[in-house]
Structure 1
Amino acid sequence: MKIKPFFGYTPKPESAKKVVSPPYDVLNRKEARKYASGNEMSFLHVNKAEIDLDDEISPYDDKVYTKAKENLDSFIEKKFLVKEEKKVFYIYAQIKGSHTQKGIICLTSTQEYDEGKIKRHEFTRKAKEADRTKIVDIQNANAGPVFLSFRKKESLEKLIKVCSSGEPHIDVFSEFSQDRHVLWKVDNDELIEKFVTEFNDVPALYICDGHHRVQSASNVSKLRREKILKEGGKVTGEEPFNFMLSVVFPENHLAIFDYNRVIKFQEGMNQKAVMDHLEKMFKVEEIPTNKEEVNDGLTPPHFAKSINKGVFSMYLMKKWYSLITNPEFIPKNDPVGSLDSAILTETVLTPLFGIKDIRTSKKLDFVGGTRGYKELEKLVNKQQGEKTNGISLAFGVCPVSMEELMEVADSGNVMPPKSTWFVPKLLSGLVLRLIED
Structure 2
Amino acid sequence: MNTAGHSEATARRGLELTPFRGLRYDPERVGSLASVTSPPYDVVVRPDGVHHLQSADPHNIVRLILPQAGTSSARTEQAADTLRRWLDEGILTVEPEPCLYVYEQRDGNGMLQRGVIGALRVSEPEEGLVLPHEDVMPLVVADRAALMRATRANLEPLLLTYRGNGTAAEVVERTASLPPLLATTTEDGYQHTLWSVTDPVDMALVQSELARHQALIADGHHRWATYLRLRAEHPSPSPWDHGLVLLVDTVRYPLRVRAIHRLLHGLPVADALAAVDGLFRVRRLDAAQPEALAALADASCEGNAFLLAGDGGYHLLSHPDPALLARTIPADRPAAWRSLDATVLHSTLLEHVWHIPEDSPAHIAYIHDTAATVEKAERDGGTAVLMHPVREEVVRELARQGVTMPRKSTSFGPKPASGLVLRALEI
TM band (smaller chain): 0.7 to 0.9
Equivalence for 1:150 = 162
Matched, 1:141 2:131: no
Deviations 1:18-38 (A, max 9, x none): 432343442546863563348
Aligned with residue 304 of structure 1, among 288, 295, 310: 295
Gaps of 5+ in 1: 226-234, 385-391
Equivalence for 2:104 = 93
Superposed, 1:21-420 pairs within 5 Å as 21-25=38-42, 26=44, 28=46, 32=50, 35-37=53-55, 39-50=57-68, 57-61=70-74, 64-98=75-109, 99-112=111-124, 115-153=127-165, 155-175=167-187, 177-202=188-213, 204-225=214-235, 235=236, 237=237, 239-251=238-250, 253-261=254-262, 264-265=267-268, 274=276, 276-279=278-281, 300-301=291-292, 303-306=294-297, 309=301, 310=303, 312=305, 314=307, 318=313, 321=316, 323=318, 333-345=334-346, 353-355=353-355, 357-360=357-360, 366-368=366-368, 370-372=369-371, 376=374, 396-420=386-410
Matched, 1:19 2:36: yes
Deviations 1:145-185 (A, max 9, x none): 1222223545543432222223322112222x442222121
Q: Which of the two has higher C-alpha Rg?
A: 1
Q: Is the contact between residue 152 and residue 425 of structure 2 (CA under 8 Å) also seen in structure 1?
A: yes
Q: Is the contact between residue 153 and residue 250 of structure 1 (CA under 8 Å) also seen in structure 2?
A: yes
After the TM superposition, which of the residue ranges 310-319 and 206-215 deviates more from structure 2? 310-319
Deviations 1:232-279 (A, max 9, x none): xxx5x4x433111111123452112123456742666767x8564335
Structure 1 residue 418: Cα displacement = 2.6
Deviations 1:76-135 (A, max 9, x none): 233222222221111112234423322110111113457442122333333332332233
Q: Secondary structure at the match of 2:91?
A: coil
TM-score of the two chains, using structure 1 as the length reference: 0.74
Matched, 1:8 2:9: no
TM-score of the two chains, using structure 2 as the length reference: 0.76
Counterpart-to-counterpart distance in 2, 1:192 and 1:145: 19
Q: Is the contact between residue 36 and residue 56 of structure 2 (CA under 8 Å) also seen in structure 1?
A: no
Equivalence for 2:9 = none
Pair 242,356 (structure 1): closer, same or farther in 2 beyond 3 Å: same
Pair 357,47 (structure 1): closer, same or farther in 2 beyond 3 Å: closer
Pair 31,277 (structure 1): closer, same or farther in 2 beyond 3 Å: closer
Q: Count matched residues.
A: 394
Structure 1 residue 381: Cα displacement = 6.7
Counterpart-to-counterpart distance in 2, 1:436 and 1:77: 14
Q: Is the contact between residue 299 and residue 319 of structure 1 (CA under 8 Å) also seen in structure 2?
A: no
Equivalence for 2:3 = none
Structure 1 residue 416: Cα displacement = 1.2
Pair 43,301 (structure 1): closer, same or farther in 2 beyond 3 Å: same
Structure 1 residue 74: Cα displacement = 2.6
Gaps of 5+ in 2: 1-14
